[in-house]
Structure 1
Amino acid sequence: MALDPNENPDKSIHKFESMLKTDDVYFFDAEDFEEIIHHYLNNGKVALGKKAIQFGLQQHPNCIELKLLHVEVLVFEDKFEEANRLLDELQNIDGQNEEIYIQRANIQSKLDNHKEAVRLLQEALELANDSFDIHSLLGMEYLFMDDYEMAKQSFMRCLEYDDRDYSSLYNVVYCFEFMEDFDGAINYLNDYLERNPYCEVAWHQLGKMYFSKQMYNEALASFDFAIISDDSFLGAYFEKAKVLEKLGRYAEAIDCYETTIEIDDPTSHAFLRIGKCHEKLGNDDLAKYYYYNTVHEDPLLDKGWLAITNYYFKKKAYKKALHYINKAINIDGENARYWKKCAEIYAALKNFDEADFAYKQAIDLGNFELETWVKWATVLENTADFNSAEQVLLQGMEFYPEEAVLHYHLALVYLYMGNAPEARKKVKSGMELNADMVTDFKTELLRYKHLSWITVIFANNKKTSTK
């Protein structure tokens, strides 16, 4: 006799496992086997699932549902030929079974043939009475194809069947977000909240959309509603704290971050943000305390070491800053930001050779910021390596041809090299791009007591402009 799953849903599983431990063979209805197999597959216990399929097909050799579960396992194990053969047999028996098309679609999806998978799922959709799962599968296939509009529509259909399907809700918002349609996401979520006013997930997602649009007051209200709906919603407190930081309300942000620590175990990220807030408030000792807590909680969090580095750098404690940036680099030596900061510290320590090396690392790792080119060139000037400084500035101009600062800086390098004609050309091109910056250039010459250069360059430029 079949066991009643409503009476004790685990009873058939316990009975099956008891059978495996003995030589006895117990009888189960096909529905019992389906329940047992689903339990094992859903919990990642594939070997036990296969055992249950084996016993199930021995007792119910003609059961299509058990054979389809066998197909599911074959597909999971990438045994596509065997799965297709079994599906062909099943289709001859029951050609109107939508699960056959779903499993064929799964095979095509795993073969990266997503268009064919979509076609098969649409056929399944025509046969299915309950199409919730098929719309979800269609949504995933459209995501694989980068068709975010169709994916969005599919996941929206899922929410029409079950408005508590938060996985689909996240996917809908993801599609809006990827298409940068933040207004569309906001409108959709507001409509959803009209129907589900106490859905903390929707309020949380709405707040994130407002945050993306820099609508911080609206974002704050949304996260507050998320917290009202669920006062233990960790993500809502964290996002609310980020908004409060943006609004300059650092003390309130600290309260929110501390709440996340009370709700769950402390996280290095929460400690880091609390430290940043205290630093903004001028609470230097507390900032330092939380930065050290950050790296204590997670010694591999390179951002924590960078925060300590920046703290000491601002205090002009360059040797301490160097100690901590080296820790960050040891954790993530491919991070261009860390090498740039390392270069700045070496430059402040007047260790220009090491600064030169660090700037080169930063550039090689993809830091092409304007400031990096200018500061690197300055370091090379301090070592009197004017040829390298010239090359650095010319490289920088490939990225920023319209930035006057590079032209003026290159003019200065040419003067150091004794190449007054090229210096005049660069001053002229700099003035064409930004005439106001010429004052800074003159100040730089005066700082190094090169008054004669001012006279030569600007007298010549005056003659050139007169012509």
Structure 2
Amino acid sequence: RAVELHPQDDWVQNSLGIAYSMVKQYEKAKTHFLKALLLSPEAVYYVNLADTHKVLENWDDALDYYLEAVSIDPNYHSAHNSIGIEYYYRKNYEKAIEHYQKAIAIAPENFVYHANLGDAYKKTKRIEEAVEAYQKALSLNSDDVLTLINLGEVFRGQQQFDEAEQYYLRALEAHKKQPGNQSIDIALNGLGIIYSIRRDYRAAEKYFQSAIEGNPQYSIYYSNLGDAYRNLQQYEKAIEIYEKAIALDENDDIVHNAMGVSYSYLKEFDSAIECYQKAININNSKAVYFLNLGDAFVDKGDLESAEIAYRTAVEKEPKNASAYESLASLLGSLGKYFQAMVNYQTAFELDKNPIHLSHIGHIYRRLGDYEQSIAFCQKAFDIAREQKDTNPRIPRYLGLAYNDRGTEFDSQQKYQLAIKDYQTALKYIDDDPVIFHNLYLSYISIEDWMNAMESLKRALELNPDNPVYLNEMEVLKNKLADA
């Protein structure tokens, strides 16, 4: 009725546009906002028209009209905020920041503007500024759930897990006061991740399940829950949850790989191989998928296929030390010793892990080249000591190298040299009865009965039921008694 009486009244046309917007008749609303603008180009009419285009997903038109609004009224803070949002979703974060800052300069007490500014800073990795913006938003509205969640996400991303947990828990408390769809599942998932990092998988399970209840259509929550069950060694349950994740997103290569790992633990290698191959079909750029596939082939006994998988892993990530290590280990088991040593050397050059040198020494030991074996194992031991690396295999391999050279000296009747090597071996391995027994035999050969007795006693302490050792002890006791 008003528009019939006052068809040239811009306020009436604008009001009618608002009325149509409220009943979701956006095309009619757009028509009346345009009429209002033709009558009087007011900033508010441009904003209303922009809002309508936004609902209709005419993003470019919406941005243009918001920009027209602030060109007419540079102090229209909500329009600046809307422009910031439009630029944000276009990933033009610097322009978004510019307009959020303009909105804040005009209306500094509006917490939403500060929160939006924090979002843009977070996207540009300006973490300190993001935290400052979010905390300013909280100073204006301490119970804003989304801002609390965003602070939790920022601190988790910085691996400041205690701080992240505090904000997530505050978000849960604030959500109780104002329940609704406020992305609280993000906080629950974040808490689950934090407890997973702390290896409290039972607590993580609880939070991931709650996240799923809050948003049952988000596959990553099922994936995270599956990981928790896998870490709890509940592999069947993990697979069940992973299948739910795949039902929501069949192209999630990470989940297919994780399910393969669970099948591998269950020793269901054919199923594991199928999962790894699905992961590779989706994303063939990750070496870890080929490494897992190779491991499954090794477990199945298909070494030829394993070698192909490992070599592909090396091709995909030529700076991945683990890929060279896996390939080297397989080549060594196939008797391709030179190739194995080359790959161990490459692995060492990439990550400086001394265990790779120990493996080279171990191969030389197999080949009977004890001098080279000791040289590589000694170098590995020295590096490990510098790095404070406590890998028990490193001293063990060095001890075994000395022991084996000792047996060679013993076979050459160079008993004093053999004794010296056995004693050196025992500096690195003091719990191996075989080395003590070898030392005993060398002492027997030079008729050093007392040291022979002490060595045999130590062998028996470590292996008290060995019938050979027991018999030798009786013989030695009788010999000493006769003497």
Common topology (TM > 0.5): yes
Contact conserved, 1:261 with 1:270, CA < 8 A, in 2?
yes
Residue 34 of structure 1 is aligned with which of 50, 70, 81? 81
Distance in structure 2 (CA, Å) of the matches to 1:61 and 1:147? 32
Match of 2:392 in 1: 368
Partner of 1:103: 132
Cα pair distance change 1:422/1:77, threshold 3 Å: same
Partner of 1:130: 144
Shift of the 7–194 alpha-carbon distance from structure 1 to 2, 3 Å rule, reads closer
C-alpha contact 1:414 1:422 (8 A) present in aligned 2: no
Which residue identity lines up with residue 174 of structure 1 in the other structure? I
Corresponding residue for residue 291 of structure 2: 272
Paired residues of 2:324 and 2:346 also in contact (CA < 8 A): yes
Which residue does the alignment assign to 1:352?
370
Q: CA deviation at 1:196?
A: 5.0
Separation in structure 2 between the aligned mates of residue 425 and residue 169 of structure 1, nearest angstrom = 63
SS of the residue corresponding to residue 465 of structure 2 reads helix
Note closer, same or farther for the CA distance 1:17–1:357 as it changes in structure 2 (3 Å cut): farther
Taking a change above 3 Å as real, the CA distance of residues 56 and 176 of structure 1, as seen in their structure-2 partners, is: closer
Q: Report which stretch shifted further, 153-162 or 175-184.
A: 153-162
Distance 1:77 1:226 in 2: 30
What residue is the counterpart of 1:261 in the other structure?
280
State the one-letter code of the partner of 1:186: E
1-side partners of 2:208 and 2:121: how far apart? 40
1:153 paired to 2:169 = yes
TM-score by length of 1: 0.69
1:322–1:345 Cα contact (<8 Å) kept: yes
**CA positional deviation for 1:205:** 2.0
Correspondence 1:397-436 to 2 at 5 A: 397=430, 403-405=431-433, 408=436, 411-412=439-440, 415=443, 421-436=450-465
Shift of 1:209: 1.6
Query: Does the 8 Å CA contact 1:234/1:263 hold for their aligned counterparts?
Result: yes
Q: Percent identity?
A: 15
Number of aligned positions between the proteins: 406
1:293 and 2:339 are equivalent in the alignment:
no
| Counterpart in the other structure of 2:412 | none
SS in 1 for 2:53: coil
Measured after TM superposition, the shift of residue 242 of structure 1 is 0.8
Deviation at 1:423, TM superposition (A): 4.6
Shift of 1:361: 3.4
Change (3 A) 1:461 1:168: farther
With the length of structure 2 as denominator, give the TM-score of the two structures: 0.67
| Preserved CA contact (<8 Å) 1:414 1:420 | no
- Which of 207, 229, 243 matches 1:224? 243
- Indicate whether 1:144 and 2:160 are aligned: yes
Question: What is the correspondence of 1:304-383 to structure 2 with a 5 Å cutoff?
Answer: 304-332=323-351, 334-363=352-381, 364-365=383-384, 366=389, 367-369=391-393, 371-381=396-406, 382=408
Structure 2 residue runs without a partner (length 5+): 1-42, 410-416
**Which AA in structure 1 matches 2:327?**
I
Report Cα offsets for 1:196-219 as digits up to 9, x if no partner. 555422322222122112122111
Q: Equivalents in 1 of 2:369, 2:272: separation in Å?
A: 39
2:460–2:470 CA contact under 8 A, matched in 1? no
Does the alignment pair 1:7 with 2:53? yes
CA contact (8 A) 2:331 2:337 kept: yes
Q: Does 1:182 align with 2:210?
A: no
User: How far is 1:240 from its partner?
Assistant: 0.9
Over the residues paired in the alignment, what is the CA RMSD in angstroms?
A: 4.7
Bigger radius of gyration among the two? 2
Q: Does 1:247 align with 2:266?
A: yes
Given that 1:139 and 1:155 are in contact with CA atoms closer than 8 Å, whether structure 2 keeps it comes out as no
Aligned partners of 1:459 and 1:380: how far apart in 2?
29
Deviation at 1:376, TM superposition (A): 3.6
Offset of residue 25 of structure 1: 6.3
Q: Which amino acid aligns with 1:303?
A: S
